[in-house]
Amino acid sequence: MATDYTGEVETDGDWQDRHDGCLRIRKLAVESFDNNVYVVACANTTSALLVDVAARPERLAEALEGFEPVAAVQTHGHWDHVRAWDGVRDGLGVEVWGHAGDAQRFPRAVDRTLRDGETLTIGDLTVEVIHLPGHTEGSLLFLVVGDERPHLFSGDTLFPGGPGNTFGSSENHTRIMDGLEAKVFDRLPDETWVYPGHGADTTLGAERPKLAEWRERGW
């Protein structure tokens, strides 16, 4: 695995690349909300997924050069994660896939509805879809296992220091915490690398000791 990857990228600056077996991960950040966008690619075939059509479709096109995108997948439908939808879908001809729970948030209909537990074949990679509502009803995480560790693309559901914003809803806070414990922390090892929708990366091992604190604080 590349040793120079830090996960810390400047908004509208250079991207960073990471290798784990045939898995290639490219991270970049775009526009004023510092949205992270990821290319998840198979080095054996150049097939790839784009994670979140956040903004700046011309920049996303640059990040996809050399890859054959199968689709763009949405972690959720908040406006800052969908601003490049038309540019990616129409300008680049790349389908956009997402969960039906966020259909009313998306600017247009998805080309494919994703469901909890299904797997996406990207070249020689298998990407698992994890539906974990709380931040939004249709929030998704995407899991791919490399040779050295699992890699989890968490959108705005999990960050360094806590779960995503549930906007004052105790019910949704309970849902997001229950989902994180059952679908993420209870089944994945500490070395799992987490790639959030904004800001720096983390690992499950770094965050695991804080679960009880997150649940108690209620946000």
Percent of the chain with pLDDT over 90: 96
Instruction: Tell me what pLDDT residue 79 has.
Output: 97
Per-residue model confidence as pLDDT tens digits over 23-41: 999 999 999 899 999 999 9
- pLDDT category at 1 given cuts 50, 70, 90 is very low
User: What's CA 206's distance to the chain center, in Å?
Assistant: 18
Instruction: Tell me what pLDDT residue 168 has.
Output: 94
Name the DSSP letter for residue 197.
Answer: S
**Average predicted confidence (pLDDT) for the chain:** 97
Distance CA 185, CA 171 (A): 20
Instruction: Tell me what pLDDT residue 3 has.
Output: 52
Distances in Å between the Cα of 197 and the Cα atoms of 9, 33, 46, 141 are 12, 10, 24, 10
Closest CA to 2 of 14, 26, 18, 25: 18
Instruction: Tell me what pLDDT residue 4 has.
Output: 87
- At 115, which amino acid appears? R
Q: What is the third-level CATH fold of 16-217?
A: Metallo-beta-lactamase; Chain A (3.60.15)
Domain segments of the chain: what residues? 16-217
- List alpha helices for the chain, DSSP H: 57-63, 85-86, 170-180, 204-207, 211-217
User: Phi and psi for 15 in degrees, rounded to 5?
Assistant: -90, 170
Distance CA 153, CA 54 (A): 14
